[in-house]
Chains A and B, each alone.
Chain A
Amino acid sequence: MRRLLILDYALSSLWRRRYKNFSIIAVFTLTVAVLGSILLLTHSLKMEASEILAGAPDLVVQRMSAGRHDLIPVRYIEEIEKIPGVGAVKSRCWGYYYDALTGSNFTLLGLDETATHEIHLLEGSMPKAEGQCAVGPGVARIRNVKVGDELILIDSTNTGVVFEVVGTFTEESSILTNDLVVFPKDDLVWFFGLPEGRATDITVEVFNESEVSTVAGKIKRMYPDTRPITRREIVQTYDAVFNWRSGMMLTVFLSALIAFSILAWDKATGISAEERREVGILKAIGWDTSDVLELKFWEGTVISLTSFLLGLIFAFVHVFFFGAPLLTPVLKGWSVIFPDFHFTPYIDLYQIAVIGFLTVVPYVASTVIPSWKTAVTDPEEVMRS
C-alpha cells in the first residue's frame, strides 16, 4: 500500500510540473525515436537484403580485364557445366544506364524466357516480345510510366528507342528491383551493342551449398581471367555497407545523444530550489530517505519509460509505416531513385534493450542520485539553504 501511495504521489508531482516534464519527454522521445529509427532501419534493411539475396544465384562469374569488369564469353558456360555438382549455368546481360532526363541511374537487365522465374513480384506481365519492357517502382515513379505507356531510352548509338511498358514490379520487390528495367535478352544485347557471344556475367547453380567455394575455386583455375562471387560474399558486402552507413549515422547522432545526456544530467544534478525544498519538507514531516528515493525513482522511471516507449513507437511508425523518409537517403543507396520501401518489421530485441539501457538507466540514475544527496542532509539544513 505504501509503495502505491508513493507512486500516486509521484504521478501527481509530475503532473504539477507538467510543462517542464512534457518538454523533457519531448526531447527524450525525439532522441529515442532517432536512435531507434536508425537501428530498426538498418536491421530491417539487412534482413530484407539477405532474404532477397537468398534467392540469388549461388555463384556469379564475372570476367576481369586489367582489373575491371569486362564482358564474359558465353562459351565458358559449356566448361563450367561439366564441373561435378553444378546445376544450371546461365549467361546474364545487364548494365547500368544513366538517364540524363531525370539524372538517375537505372539497372537494365535482359532476361531470356527460361529466367523469368527469378523475379516473382510483378504486376502486368514480363516482357517477351521485341520492344517490350518491365520497370521497377522507382523507374515507374521517376519517369511517370505505367503498364501500357512508352519508355524512351537512349541506346549505344545515341538514338532514342521506344519500349512499351508491359509490367511493373510491385513495391514489395524493394531493394533489388526498384531501379530495374527488364527487357528480352536480345533487345538488351542490341540496345547496349554487346558483341556476339558475350554476356555481362554468368550465374551458376551449385547443388551442395558447402561446395560453392570449391566450385568457385575450380572455375578460377579453369578460367584465370574470371572472378567468381559467392552469394555469401554478396550478403557480407550488403551487411558491411549497411553497418558502415548506420555506423556513420550513429556517429553523427552520438553528438546529439551526448548533448541529451548533458541536458539530462544538468537537469537532474541541478535539482531546482523548489524540488530541493520539497524534499526537505517531506523529510521534515517524516518521509524516510528511502521514501524520497522511491518517489524520485518513480518520477524518473515514469518520464524515461514513457519517452522510451513513445520514441520506439515513433521510430516504428517512421520506419515501418512511412518508410523512414528522414533516413533512407543516407542508408539505402546512391541512386537518386530511392526505393519506396514498406519495410517488413524485423525487430532485434537486443538492440531495443541497448537503447533502453543507454537512455532509461542513465536518466533514472541522474534523477535519483542528486535527490539522494539532498535526502540524506538534515531537513533543517535543506530548508534553510
Chain B
Amino acid sequence: MKEPAEALIWTEDVTKVYNPRLPDEVRAVDRVSVTIDRGDVAVLKGPSGSGKTSLLSLIGCMSRPTSGRIFVDGRDVAKLSESLLTAIRRETFGFIFQQYNLVPDASVLENVLLPLYPVGLRPSEMKQRANRILEGLGIENRRRLKVRKLSGGEQQRVAIARALVNEPDIIVADEPTAHLDRQRSADLLRVLEDLNMQGKTIIIATHDAQVYDHVFVTRTIEMGDGRVEAERLS
C-alpha cells in the first residue's frame, strides 16, 4: 500500500458505525484501507448495503470515520476542524449524488452557481463559469428553467455541472446511472471519461456493470459487508 505522500487518497483501517451502542447499530464500513492515485477512475463496486456509499462519503469528507485515518492530498482529514473539512469539500471535491440532490424549485443556473456563493467571486465571473460548463454539457438552453421541469438525464447533467463549477480535482459520483437508461448512462460515462482525460480523478460507487466494466476504469474496489473483498487495477 502506498504512503500518504504518494497517493491522492489513502485510507487506513477506516471504520464507520452508525448509531453506535444502540440496538440498531450498523457497522457500514469496517477497517477499510484503500488507495486512489491522482488521475484514477476508481470504482467502488458491490451490492446494496455493502458500504460503498458510506466509504464514498468518508473519502469525500462528508462524514467523519468512527475510527481510522483518511488522507486527502497528504492531509489527515479525519482530524480536521469542521470549517477546514468544508473548505476541502468546496475546493477539492465535486459531488454527483444518486438522487442528484438539486434544489428543485431553483433554476438550472442557480443550482450550478450554488457552490460558488461562499467563494466570493464576482457575479459576472460566476455566471461566466457556470454558462461555460452548461454549454459543455449541452444544456445551456435550459439554464433558466426550474430543475423540477427537467428530465432525469438533464437533471443528471445539472448535477455534473454543479460538481464541476468549482473546478475540483476529484469528482465523486454515487450510483450516477441508477436512474438513467442505457443510452443516458453511456452519455454520462462519456462525460466522465472526458473529465478524466482533462486530469480529474473520478471515484464512482456503483453496482451497474455498464460502469464498472467500462474501459476507462483504472481501479476496482469490491466491497461486501462494509469490507474490501478485492481490489483490482486495470
| Chain A residues with a Cβ under 8 A of chain B | 1-2, 5-6, 9, 12-13, 16-17, 277-278, 280-291, 376, 378-381, 383
Interface centre among A6, A282, A286 (most CB of B within 10 A): A286
- Give the nearest-CB partner of A280 in chain B: B101
B contact residues around A281 at 8 Å (CB): 101-103, 114
Contacting pair B86 A278 (CB below 8 A): no
Contacting pair A286 B166 (CB below 8 A): yes
A contact residues around B91 at 8 Å (CB): 286
How many contacts A-B (CB < 8 Å)?
Answer: 80
CA distance A339 to B52 in the complex (A): 77
Contacting pair A291 B117 (CB below 8 A): yes
Contacting pair B115 A285 (CB below 8 A): yes
Contacting pair B63 A284 (CB below 8 A): no
Say if the beta carbon of B231 comes within 8 Å of chain A.
Answer: no
Tell me the minimal C-beta distance from A329 to chain B in angstroms.
Answer: 46
Which residue in A16, A17, A285, A380 is a CB contact (below 8 Å) of B114? A285
CA distance A97 to B89 in the complex (A): 83
Contacting pair A378 B63 (CB below 8 A): yes
CA distance A5 to B116 in the complex (A): 9
Contacting pair A286 B120 (CB below 8 A): no
- Give the nearest-CB partner of A17 in chain B: B105
CA distance A284 to B174 in the complex (A): 13
A-contact bits for B158-181, CB 8 A (1 contact / 0 none): 000010001000000000000000
Tell me the minimal C-beta distance from A115 to chain B in angstroms.
Answer: 72
- Give the nearest-CB partner of B94 in chain A: A285
The prevalent SS among residues of A at the interface is: helix
A-contact bits for B79-100, CB 8 A (1 contact / 0 none): 0001100110111000101000
CA distance A139 to B90 in the complex (A): 75
CA distance A17 to B62 in the complex (A): 27
Contacting pair A5 B120 (CB below 8 A): yes
Contacting pair B103 A289 (CB below 8 A): no
Interface centre among B87, B89, B102, B116 (most CB of A within 10 A): B89
Contacting pair A289 B82 (CB below 8 A): yes
B contact residues around A285 at 8 Å (CB): 89-90, 95, 114-115, 162, 166
- Give the nearest-CB partner of B101 in chain A: A281
Say if the beta carbon of B57 comes within 8 Å of chain A.
Answer: yes
A contact residues around B123 at 8 Å (CB): 5
Contacting pair B101 A378 (CB below 8 A): no
B contact residues around A383 at 8 Å (CB): 97, 101
Contacting pair B118 A6 (CB below 8 A): yes
Contacting pair A284 B118 (CB below 8 A): no
CA distance A17 to B105 in the complex (A): 9
B contact residues around A282 at 8 Å (CB): 114
A-contact bits for B41-62, CB 8 A (1 contact / 0 none): 0000000000000100100001
Tell me the minimal C-beta distance from B38 to chain A in angstroms.
Answer: 21
- Give the nearest-CB partner of B118 in chain A: A291
Q: Chain B: how many interface residues by the 8 Å CB criterion?
A: 33
Contacting pair A284 B117 (CB below 8 A): no
CA distance A9 to B103 in the complex (A): 12
Contacting pair B101 A284 (CB below 8 A): yes
A285-B162, A286-B118 known, 9 other contacts, Cβ within 8 Å: A1-B121, A5-B117, A12-B106, A12-B110, A286-B86, A286-B89, A286-B91, A288-B86, A383-B97
Question: What are 19 contact pairs spanning A and B, CB under 8 A?
Answer: A2-B118, A5-B120, A6-B117, A6-B118, A16-B103, A278-B103, A281-B102, A281-B114, A283-B86, A285-B114, A286-B89, A286-B90, A288-B86, A289-B82, A291-B118, A378-B62, A378-B64, A379-B63, A380-B57
CA distance A9 to B120 in the complex (A): 13
B contact residues around A381 at 8 Å (CB): 63
Interface centre among A6, A285, A379 (most CB of B within 10 A): A285
Scan residues 103-127 of chain B and give those whose CB is less than 8 A from a CB of chain A.
103, 105-106, 110, 114-123, 126
B contact residues around A284 at 8 Å (CB): 62, 89, 95, 97, 101
A contact residues around B54 at 8 Å (CB): 380
Contacting pair B166 A277 (CB below 8 A): no
The 10 closest A-B pairs by CB, nearest first: A286-B90, A2-B120, A380-B63, A380-B57, A380-B62, A16-B105, A378-B63, A285-B115, A291-B118, A5-B117
B contact residues around A12 at 8 Å (CB): 106, 110
Interface centre among A17, A289, A290, A380 (most CB of B within 10 A): A380
CA distance A291 to B83 in the complex (A): 11
CA distance A278 to B114 in the complex (A): 11
Contacting pair B115 A277 (CB below 8 A): no
Which residue in A1, A16, A278 is a CB contact (below 8 Å) of B120? A1
Tell me the minimal C-beta distance from A342 to chain B in angstroms.
Answer: 47
A contact residues around B126 at 8 Å (CB): 5
- Give the nearest-CB partner of A3 in chain B: B120
CA distance A278 to B62 in the complex (A): 15
Tell me the minimal C-beta distance from B201 to chain A in angstroms.
Answer: 17
CA distance A278 to B101 in the complex (A): 8
Contacting pair A379 B118 (CB below 8 A): no
CA distance A381 to B101 in the complex (A): 14
Contacting pair A287 B118 (CB below 8 A): yes
B contact residues around A5 at 8 Å (CB): 116-117, 120, 123, 126
